[in-house]
Amino acid sequence: MRPVECAACGNQVLCEKFSPAHTSVQWTAEAAVSCAEFRDRAGGGGGTTARLRTCRALRSSIDRAVADGTLEVDDVRTDA
């Protein structure tokens, strides 16, 4: 897994992509506290973010990391 930093709030997560459609994200801090978007949507106070499908800002940061090559996609790597 490779670290990816969210451009919106600076929170860092670990990512892995087996293919362009696959994404695995391991958060390394409490999501409801460390992520600005989740903080708002989960209504603050910690708690679970498991009912929130994705953080849009983080998702764009991951897409950008793939586009600029800092996050490699397995398929691309093995096909190359």
Using CB under 8 A, list all residues that contact other proteins: 18-32, 46-54, 74
38 contacts: CB under 8 Å, gap ≥ 6:
31, 32, 49, 52, 55
Quote the least distance from Cβ 17 to other proteins, whole Å.
Answer: 9
- Residue 51 or 77: the one with the smaller Cβ distance to other proteins is 51
Say if CB 20 and CB 75 are below 8 A apart.
Answer: yes
Quote the least distance from Cβ 26 to other proteins, whole Å.
Answer: 5
Quote the least distance from Cβ 34 to other proteins, whole Å.
Answer: 9
Give the C-alpha separation, 41 to 7, whole Å.
Answer: 18
